[in-house]
Structure 1
């Protein structure tokens, strides 16, 4: 990882090779976004635009052939990296990622509208078996409302996956920046991630009440959950760093997150909300590592 980061920062041509090459290859768009984030975070907007253009070209080609993910993640990570460079505040970046995810949802509904509708139709047929007796107890109007939520929720879930990939790409770029210029800085930043109670409640309200406001707003539910999941993971990392939990819990978290996501994912959301109220990590202790950008 360090060797790749050093190669990217060696010069303009090296950065173009990694960003454009990763954007052109299938399933490596996250690497292109991470490399672009690194260059932007370290060198600023003016020095990055000329590099970004070469990564956008293959991303546009992918969109032309029906896959918008490369361009969406690349531009999304670029925008969030610009915000992180100017504000140096992860809670604000996480909150803005909801807006980025909403733009993803709109783009995905245009690009993949028919496949999403087909999956929703299949799920609609399976609802009586999935919900069993609970489905039979619903009125005709409630069944209609439930079925109308399928397409927005599926679109929101797909957009939330891209939102997660975007944030992970940005974090990888930030980690590379800290690795090269201020080792340990990214870990301190991530472990300090915590939402104030008002913001945590706002995200929770978006998760729970957006479907009741408007059917199309149901896609906000998955998008609002993503920042809280990252904050929940940051809480566990912080407690382990303070010695209040053993490192084994982190291994267990990521293993069970893969195997039992439907259980661990909402648990992380709950942990983030409770931590916003009680601040289990306490005030950050003074340290000498400074910001991850190595410039503070």
Structure 2
């Protein structure tokens, strides 16, 4: 991957070639977003506009064909890259990603309203089996309200996938920037990701209470959980870097995340909230420096 970053940073022609080719190919649009963010982070907005404009051309074609994900992820990644370039901390970038996820959800709800409604209808058919006895006792208005909330959650889930892909693309661009110009810089930044107690509890409350506040806020449940999940990953990386955990924990965590995402994802989010209250990494650093000077 470093060879690709070296090639991209050789000049504008090389960068334009990579972003256009990856945006035009199916399932590689995340690479176009990552490369574009690298160029923006290193050279600034004015010098990267030419590259980004070319990358938007295949994105516009994809949108015309009915798939808005390419330009959405590209523009979203660049927006977060601008925030990161202005030296905002990662926790603030993560919060901005929630607002970006809301925009994603609104666009997806408008473009894919029929497929989302169809998917929601299929899930609703399973509700009598998932809620035996309870579903039959619900009134017609309560069932309709639950169906609307379900549609909002599904839309939020789809938007959260794009939100995560946007953040991963930004992290890849930042990682490339660190490898080329500031070795180890991205790792130090990411391991410091931690939310203050108030923000951590607010994200948790929005995740848990979003569906209870109405169909319009139901999408917040998956969107607000994404920053917490990344903060949980940063916690594990930080504890490994401090020597509190062995490196095999990282391997096991990512393997488990791929195979059993439905189990590990909420656990990481919960650990992030607990860490916002207890600051495990800060406690470990203070404990190492609190012993007597003579040993």
User: Shared topology, TM-score over 0.5?
Assistant: yes
Alignment correspondent of 2:51: 51
Q: Report if the CA contact (8 A) 1:104-1:159 is conserved.
A: yes
Deviations 1:262-295 (Å, cap 9, x if unpaired)?
111110110000000000001797xxxxxxxxxx
Task: Give the conservation status (yes or no) of the 8 Å contact 1:24–1:58.
Answer: yes
Work out the CA distance in 2 between the residues paired with 1:6 and 1:87.
24
**Match in the other structure for 1:147:** 147
1:228 and 1:273 in contact (8 A); partners too: yes
Q: Matched residues in 2 for 1:75 and 1:124: separation?
A: 34
Tell me how many residue pairs correspond in the alignment. 285
Change (3 A) 1:196 1:175: same
Aligned-partner Cα distance in 1 for 2:214–2:3: 49
Partner of 2:289: none
Residue 105 of structure 1 corresponds to: 105
Tell me the CA shift for residue 30 of structure 1: 0.3
2:257 corresponding residue in structure 1: 257
Corresponding residue SS for 2:280: coil
> 8 Å contact 1:175–1:186 — kept in the other structure?
yes
2:232 corresponds in structure 1 to 232
CA RMSD of aligned residues (A): 1.4
1:291 matched residue in structure 2 = none
Larger RCO of the pair (alpha carbons < 8 Å, separation 6+): 1
User: Does 2:37 match 1:37?
Assistant: yes
Q: What do the CA deviations read for 1:241-260 (whole angstroms, capped 9, x no partner)?
A: 11101111111111111221
In structure 2, the partner of 1:60 is 60
Q: 2:204 maps to what in 1?
A: 204
**Aligned residue runs from structure 1 range 1-296, under 5 A:** 1-136=1-136, 138-282=138-282
In structure 2, how many angstroms separate the alpha carbons of the residues matched to 1:208 and 1:216? 14
Deviation at 1:212, TM superposition (A): 2.6
CA offsets, 1:86-142, max 9 Å, x none?
033100000000000110001101111100000101111111122334544545543
Structure 1 gap ranges (5+): 286-296
The question of whether the paired residues in 2 share the 8 Å contact of 1:102 and 1:223 is answered with yes
2:20 and 2:58 in contact (8 A); partners too: yes
Q: Distance in 1 between matches of 2:33 and 2:27?
A: 12
Q: What CA distance in whole angstroms lies between the structure 2 residues aligned with 1:222 and 1:254?
A: 20
Cα displacement string for residues 15-39 of structure 1 (whole angstroms, at most 9, x for unaligned residues) = 1001111111111000000000100
Residue 38 of structure 1 contacts residue 174 of structure 1 at CA under 8 Å; is this kept in 2? yes
CA distance in 2, matches of 1:284, 1:250: 18
Please report how far the alpha carbon of residue 144 of structure 1 lies from its aligned counterpart in structure 2 after TM superposition.
2.9
2:145 alignment partner, SS class: helix
Distance of 2:267 and 2:70 partners within structure 1: 30
User: 80-89 or 66-75: which moved more?
Assistant: 80-89
Write out per-residue CA displacement over residues 229-248 of structure 1, whole angstroms, 9 at most, x where no aligned residue: 00001000100111101111
Quote the Cα distance in structure 2 between the aligned partners of 1:139 and 1:228: 35
Q: Does structure 1 retain, via aligned residues, the 8 Å contact 2:149–2:214?
A: no
For residues 207 and 97 of structure 1, the distance between their equivalents in structure 2, rounded to whole angstroms, comes to 15
Quote the Cα distance in structure 1 between the aligned partners of 2:59 and 2:91.
29
Q: Secondary structure at the match of 1:66?
A: coil
Q: Which ranges in structure 2 are unaligned for 5 or more consecutive residues?
A: 286-295
Aligned to 2:291: none
Distance 2:139 2:246 in 1: 49
TM-score of the superposed pair, with normalisation by structure 1: 0.93
